[in-house]
Amino acid sequence: LGRTNAEIAAELYVSLSTVKTHLSSVQLKLDARNRVEIAAWAWQNGYAQPTG
In whole angstroms, give the CA distance from residue 23 to residue 28. Answer: 9
Residue 36: enclosing H or E segment and its boundaries? helix 35-44
pTM of the model as a whole: 0.81
Instruction: State pLDDT tens for residues 1-52.
Output: 689 999 999 999 999 999 999 999 999 999 999 999 999 999 999 998 877 6
- For residues 41 and 38, what is the distance between their CA atoms, to the nearest angstrom? 5
